[in-house]
Amino acid sequence: MKFCSRSDSRDDTVKNFIKAFTYAWMGIVHGAAQERNVKFHLVAAIVVIVAGWLTGLSRFEWIVITAVIALVIALELMNAAVERVVDLVTQERHPLAKQAKDLAAGAVLVFSIASAIIGVLIFLPKWLM
Protein backbone atom coordinates (compact mmCIF):
# COMPACT_ATOMS: atom_id res chain seq x y z
CA MET A 1 0.00 0.00 0.00
CA LYS A 2 1.39 3.36 -1.04
CA PHE A 3 0.88 6.33 1.22
CA CYS A 4 0.60 9.68 -0.42
CA SER A 5 1.81 12.77 1.33
CA ARG A 6 0.02 16.08 1.01
CA SER A 7 2.86 17.43 -1.14
CA ASP A 8 2.40 14.53 -3.59
CA SER A 9 -1.27 15.38 -4.04
CA ARG A 10 -0.42 19.08 -4.47
CA ASP A 11 2.19 18.17 -7.06
CA ASP A 12 -0.42 16.11 -8.92
CA THR A 13 -2.90 18.98 -8.70
CA VAL A 14 -0.36 21.41 -10.12
CA LYS A 15 0.62 18.95 -12.86
CA ASN A 16 -3.04 18.37 -13.77
CA PHE A 17 -3.65 22.12 -13.84
CA ILE A 18 -0.66 22.65 -16.12
CA LYS A 19 -1.83 19.80 -18.38
CA ALA A 20 -5.32 21.30 -18.58
CA PHE A 21 -3.88 24.72 -19.40
CA THR A 22 -1.65 23.15 -22.07
CA TYR A 23 -4.60 21.34 -23.65
CA ALA A 24 -6.62 24.56 -23.66
CA TRP A 25 -3.74 26.43 -25.28
CA MET A 26 -3.46 23.68 -27.90
CA GLY A 27 -7.15 24.22 -28.68
CA ILE A 28 -6.59 27.94 -29.19
CA VAL A 29 -3.56 27.33 -31.41
CA HIS A 30 -5.45 24.70 -33.43
CA GLY A 31 -8.41 27.05 -33.86
CA ALA A 32 -6.16 29.90 -34.96
CA ALA A 33 -4.30 27.67 -37.41
CA GLN A 34 -7.16 25.60 -38.84
CA GLU A 35 -10.45 27.46 -38.48
CA ARG A 36 -11.20 30.00 -41.21
CA ASN A 37 -13.61 32.00 -39.06
CA VAL A 38 -11.21 32.12 -36.10
CA LYS A 39 -8.54 33.44 -38.46
CA PHE A 40 -10.98 36.07 -39.74
CA HIS A 41 -11.85 37.21 -36.22
CA LEU A 42 -8.19 37.33 -35.21
CA VAL A 43 -7.43 39.59 -38.18
CA ALA A 44 -10.46 41.73 -37.31
CA ALA A 45 -9.22 41.89 -33.70
CA ILE A 46 -5.81 43.13 -34.86
CA VAL A 47 -7.49 45.82 -36.99
CA VAL A 48 -9.64 46.90 -34.03
CA ILE A 49 -6.64 46.97 -31.67
CA VAL A 50 -4.64 49.12 -34.10
CA ALA A 51 -7.64 51.42 -34.61
CA GLY A 52 -8.06 51.65 -30.85
CA TRP A 53 -4.42 52.51 -30.36
CA LEU A 54 -4.56 55.16 -33.09
CA THR A 55 -7.82 56.58 -31.73
CA GLY A 56 -6.67 56.70 -28.12
CA LEU A 57 -9.40 54.67 -26.44
CA SER A 58 -10.15 55.20 -22.77
CA ARG A 59 -9.46 52.49 -20.20
CA PHE A 60 -13.15 51.57 -20.09
CA GLU A 61 -13.33 51.38 -23.90
CA TRP A 62 -10.29 49.06 -23.92
CA ILE A 63 -12.01 46.86 -21.35
CA VAL A 64 -15.11 46.64 -23.54
CA ILE A 65 -13.09 46.00 -26.72
CA THR A 66 -10.99 43.32 -25.00
CA ALA A 67 -14.09 41.56 -23.67
CA VAL A 68 -15.81 41.68 -27.05
CA ILE A 69 -12.77 40.31 -28.89
CA ALA A 70 -12.33 37.52 -26.33
CA LEU A 71 -16.00 36.55 -26.45
CA VAL A 72 -16.19 36.44 -30.25
CA ILE A 73 -13.09 34.24 -30.46
CA ALA A 74 -14.31 32.04 -27.60
CA LEU A 75 -17.66 31.59 -29.33
CA GLU A 76 -15.91 30.68 -32.59
CA LEU A 77 -13.88 28.05 -30.74
CA MET A 78 -17.05 26.65 -29.14
CA ASN A 79 -18.73 26.62 -32.55
CA ALA A 80 -15.82 24.62 -33.96
CA ALA A 81 -16.04 22.23 -31.01
CA VAL A 82 -19.77 21.67 -31.61
CA GLU A 83 -19.08 20.99 -35.28
CA ARG A 84 -16.39 18.44 -34.38
CA VAL A 85 -18.61 16.65 -31.88
CA VAL A 86 -21.53 16.49 -34.31
CA ASP A 87 -19.22 15.14 -37.03
CA LEU A 88 -17.84 12.59 -34.59
CA VAL A 89 -21.32 11.36 -33.66
CA THR A 90 -22.72 11.09 -37.16
CA GLN A 91 -21.47 11.40 -40.72
CA GLU A 92 -24.95 11.20 -42.21
CA ARG A 93 -27.06 14.25 -42.86
CA HIS A 94 -29.50 14.48 -39.99
CA PRO A 95 -31.82 17.38 -39.21
CA LEU A 96 -30.71 17.50 -35.57
CA ALA A 97 -27.03 17.53 -36.54
CA LYS A 98 -27.72 20.43 -38.90
CA GLN A 99 -29.68 22.26 -36.20
CA ALA A 100 -26.85 21.83 -33.67
CA LYS A 101 -24.33 23.26 -36.10
CA ASP A 102 -26.66 26.06 -37.19
CA LEU A 103 -27.47 27.02 -33.59
CA ALA A 104 -23.79 27.21 -32.65
CA ALA A 105 -23.02 29.29 -35.75
CA GLY A 106 -26.04 31.47 -34.97
CA ALA A 107 -24.68 32.20 -31.50
CA VAL A 108 -21.45 33.44 -33.07
CA LEU A 109 -23.38 35.55 -35.57
CA VAL A 110 -25.54 37.16 -32.87
CA PHE A 111 -22.53 38.20 -30.84
CA SER A 112 -20.56 39.25 -33.93
CA ILE A 113 -23.38 41.61 -34.91
CA ALA A 114 -23.53 42.93 -31.34
CA SER A 115 -19.75 43.41 -31.35
CA ALA A 116 -19.93 45.36 -34.62
CA ILE A 117 -22.59 47.62 -33.08
CA ILE A 118 -20.41 48.08 -29.99
CA GLY A 119 -17.48 48.94 -32.24
CA VAL A 120 -19.54 51.54 -34.09
CA LEU A 121 -20.74 53.04 -30.79
CA ILE A 122 -17.16 53.32 -29.55
CA PHE A 123 -15.33 54.38 -32.72
CA LEU A 124 -17.84 56.44 -34.72
CA PRO A 125 -18.00 59.40 -32.31
CA LYS A 126 -14.19 59.53 -32.23
CA TRP A 127 -13.94 59.51 -36.02
CA LEU A 128 -16.63 62.15 -36.47
CA MET A 129 -14.80 64.65 -34.27
Which sign, positive or negative, has the C-alpha torsion 78, 82, 88, 92?
negative
Catalytic residue list contains 92 = no
What whole-number distance in Å separates Cα of residue 124 and Cα of residue 114?
15
* Per-residue tens of pLDDT for the chain, all 129 residues: 555 555 567 778 889 989 999 999 999 999 999 999 999 999 999 999 999 999 999 999 999 999 999 999 999 999 999 999 999 998 888 999 999 999 999 999 999 999 999 999 999 998 887
pLDDT at 7: 56
pLDDT at 104: 97
What whole-number distance in Å separates Cα of residue 42 and Cα of residue 37?
9
Of 35, 61, 76, 92, catalytic: 76
User: pTM value?
Assistant: 0.82
For 35, phi and psi rounded to 5 degrees?
Answer: -95, 120
